Amino acid sequence: MLSIVIFLPLLVGAALAVMRGLPARAARLVWLATTLADLALLIVLTFTASTGAGGLRAEERVNWMPQLGSSYHLGVDGLSLPLLLLAGVIFVVCAIWSLRETDRPRPQAALFLFLQTTCLGLFAAQDLILFFLFFDLSIVGMYFVIAGWGHGNQRHSALVFFIYTFLGSLALLLGFIGLYLGATPHTFDMVELSRHGAFTGTPAAAGFVLAAIVIGLAVKTPTFPFHSWLPPAHTDAPTIGSVVLASLLLKMGTYGFVRIAMPMLPDAWRSWAWVIIAIGIVSVLYGALVALVQADIKRMIAFTSINHMGYVVLAVGAAGVLGRTTAEAQQLAIAGAATQMVSHGLITGALFLLAGVFYDRTGSYDLRQYGGLARPAPAFAGFFAIAAFASLGLPGFSGFIAEFQIFTGSIGTVPWTLIALPGILITAVLFLRAFQRVFTGETKQLSAGFADLHPRETTALAVLTVLSVLIGIVPGPLLAMIEPAAKVLVGSLTP
């Protein structure tokens, strides 16, 4: 079942890729239908999948390369299932958004279906080689998205993106080989590697392996100081490319922290937790401050992504700090990190769609060239306001639930993480300032004649914002899904 969910998009994508005569309209509809069907399958799986022996749901395992200690092993748990569902939703939204796409819609649909398979596969992989496979293929897919459908200096941005994240993926591969060699018997199986004491190397060896993995994941996340590929990639990517990049590809990095780095190297993680916390705090503050001075809306959102991912890194770092009575706080921090991944996916996805509307109508991302936009485009202004408020962590939206848990959990274990709190304030300032500048006052410059949202745009945005509000108001189901897995993770961190 899980394999079908993962590979259905790929199969349809391959069919679309070879059917050269297919009309554009049909290709777009096939794309939408596939993403909807895949999401439906995923929801069915969420409710029906049974739990296996290792605590994994919908587990599948087939011998693949026994000599390399690698198998085709899939399964989901409370940390991965929310991200799988997020991926399902995001790709539906992308398909809806592209219903009027005129620039080579058939290859575009095929490429995004391919990307969907890589995202779903990564979050469901339970084998490091399989994980790495999807990790690398996501880079390849995104490279073609940016280079093929981007604008501005897209070839250069795509190349920088590819090389930078590929470098990260190789660091990750080195780390994986280290994990493989550190376990007896040698294996790439993530479940076995996550068992307590699976890594038998010396603390120094564990430190190096962790460093390789953290660097690999930090590039992908990205955290300070490995973020420099992100702003150009976002700026020059097509709108839905940016959405997938921000909502899903960045999550691959943070997901790797909770899925690989923490449970597989718990001792090393605890020893180096303060470094992770420091990276998180710097990313939070740096991302917020740099976003504050951006005039290009896409660059601004890209830097707030660094800020938001910083919270996740901060939380997973803090969860590695043990105290006598901290188990609950650690658990809260991890649950907050997982919630933040979903929340950021929804909210930043919406923000990038809105940024895409700017470019679509006028060809400019420059905030200074707009003013008083609320008058000609009230619906657009409304959605922008909702997304901005959600992003700055207002209660009632998913972002609040996530950041509240992250800070409660982190401060509960490491009180001085308080110094990251101004990050929230700065993002609030920057979003309000941007909103004020663009939407209020008299209608001037590029704002004149700005067409309001089309129905397909409204639908796509509504899906994302409604989900964010739903999580904000009724977080129970999501948290219930995450909490058992967070508990297991905290358990594995305890010596």
Partner 1 sequence: MTSMSMNMDYLALLPEIVLLTAAVLVLLGGSFLPRTRQVITRWLTLAALAASATAGLAALARAPETIFDGSYTIDASTTVVRMAAPLATLVVILIGRHEFTGSARESETYALLLLATLGTVIIGGTTDLLVLVAGYLLASIPLYALIGLSRSGPAAEATLKTYLIGALFGVLLMAGVTLLTGLAATSNYLNMSKSLGNAPVAALAGGAVALLIGLTFKAGAVPGHFWIPDASQASGVAVAAFLTTVPKIGALVALGRLVEIMPDTVDVPLLIAMLAVISMTVGNLAALAQNNVRRLLGWSTVSQVGYLLMPLAVITASDGAWLALLAYIGLYALTNLTLFAVVACFPHREELDDWAGMARTHPWLTGTLIVGALSLVGTPPTAVFIGKVAVFTVAWDGGMPWLVVVAAANTVLSLLYYLRLIRPAFRTPGFSPQHGSRGTPGVALTVSGTAVTLGFLVLAAGAVGAGIWLVFLA
Backbone phi, then psi, for 76, in 5-degree steps? -130, 155
User: Cβ of residue 73: shortest distance to partner 1, in angstroms?
Assistant: 14
Please report whether residue 147 would count as binding partner 1 according to CB under 8 A: yes
Please report whether residue 181 would count as binding partner 1 according to CB under 8 A: yes
Selected from 31, 91, 114, 162, the binder of partner 1 by CB under 8 A is: 162
User: Cβ of residue 240: shortest distance to partner 1, in angstroms?
Assistant: 19
Return d(Cα 166, Cα 33) in angstroms, integer.
Answer: 32
Binding segment for partner 1 (CB under 8 A), chosen from 108-116, 166-174, 400-408, 447-455, is: 166-174
Selected from 178, 232, 372, 393, the binder of partner 1 by CB under 8 A is: 178
Which of residues 260 and 482 has its CB atom nearest to partner 1 in the complex? Answer: 260
Please report whether residue 394 would count as binding partner 1 according to CB under 8 A: no
CA atoms within 13 A on the CB side of 407: 15
8 A C-beta contact, residue 28 and residue 240: no
8 A C-beta contact, residue 271 and residue 277: no
Please report whether residue 24 would count as binding partner 1 according to CB under 8 A: no
Alpha-carbon dihedral angle through residues 380, 383, 387, 389, given to the nearest 10 degrees? 110
Cβ neighbours around 196 below 10 Å, total? 11
Selected from 64, 274, 359, 404, the binder of partner 1 by CB under 8 A is: 64
Task: Pull the structure tokens for residue 306.
Answer: 């660094």
Selected from 99, 171, 246, 486, the binder of partner 1 by CB under 8 A is: 171
Task: Identify the burial level of 117 via C-beta atoms within 10 angstroms of its C-beta, where 0-12 means exposed, 13-18 middle and 19 or more buried.
Answer: buried
Please report whether residue 278 would count as binding partner 1 according to CB under 8 A: no
Please report whether residue 189 would count as binding partner 1 according to CB under 8 A: no
Task: Pull the structure tokens for residue 276.
Answer: 């992770």
Return d(Cα 310, Cα 74) in angstroms, integer.
Answer: 29
User: Cβ of residue 49: shortest distance to partner 1, in angstroms?
Assistant: 25
Count of residues of this chain found to bind partner 1 when the rule CB under 8 A is applied: 29
User: Cβ of residue 29: shortest distance to partner 1, in angstroms?
Assistant: 22
Return d(Cα 171, Cα 211) in angstroms, integer.
Answer: 9
Binding segment for partner 1 (CB under 8 A), chosen from 169-177, 311-319, 350-358, 401-409, is: 169-177
Please report whether residue 180 would count as binding partner 1 according to CB under 8 A: yes
8 A C-beta contact, residue 44 and residue 30: no
User: Cβ of residue 219: shortest distance to partner 1, in angstroms?
Assistant: 11
Selected from 15, 46, 166, 362, the binder of partner 1 by CB under 8 A is: 166
Selected from 170, 394, 469, 470, the binder of partner 1 by CB under 8 A is: 170
What phi-psi label fits residue 449: left (phi over 0), alpha (psi between -120 and 50 degrees) or beta? left
Backbone phi, then psi, for 52, in 5-degree steps? -85, -170
Is the bond preceding 185 in cis, omega lying within 30 degrees of 0? yes
User: Cβ of residue 325: shortest distance to partner 1, in angstroms?
Assistant: 40
Please report whether residue 163 would count as binding partner 1 according to CB under 8 A: yes
User: Cβ of residue 163: shortest distance to partner 1, in angstroms?
Assistant: 6
Please report whether residue 167 would count as binding partner 1 according to CB under 8 A: yes
User: Cβ of residue 455: shortest distance to partner 1, in angstroms?
Assistant: 33
8 A C-beta contact, residue 112 and residue 16: no
Return d(Cα 280, Cα 420) in angstroms, integer.
Answer: 9
Only one residue has tokens 């693949």, namely 64
Binding segment for partner 1 (CB under 8 A), chosen from 50-58, 161-169, 383-391, 460-468, is: 161-169
Q: Output DSSP code: residue 50.
A: P
Alpha-carbon dihedral angle through residues 268, 317, 135, 74, given to the nearest 10 degrees? 80
Return d(Cα 122, Cα 137) in angstroms, integer.
Answer: 10
Question: What does the DSSP assignment read for 414-482?
Answer: -GGGGGGTHHHHHHHHHHHHHHHHHHSSS--GGGTT-----HHHHHHHHHHHHHHHHHHH--HHHHHHH
Return d(Cα 133, Cα 10) in angstroms, integer.
Answer: 14
Please report whether residue 207 would count as binding partner 1 according to CB under 8 A: no
Selected from 1, 29, 37, 159, the binder of partner 1 by CB under 8 A is: 159
Please report whether residue 211 would count as binding partner 1 according to CB under 8 A: no
* Residue numbers 105-144 binding partner 1 by CB under 8 A: 129, 132-133, 136-137, 140
Return d(Cα 62, Cα 42) in angstroms, integer.
Answer: 21
Which of residues 65 and 480 has its CB atom nearest to partner 1 in the complex? Answer: 65
Please report whether residue 15 would count as binding partner 1 according to CB under 8 A: no
8 A C-beta contact, residue 305 and residue 399: no
Which of residues 181 and 411 has its CB atom nearest to partner 1 in the complex? Answer: 181
Selected from 100, 155, 196, 433, the binder of partner 1 by CB under 8 A is: 155
The residues that touch partner 1, with contacts defined as CB under 8 A, are 20, 63-68, 129, 132-133, 136-137, 140, 147-148, 155, 159, 162-163, 166-167, 170-171, 173-174, 177-178, 180-181
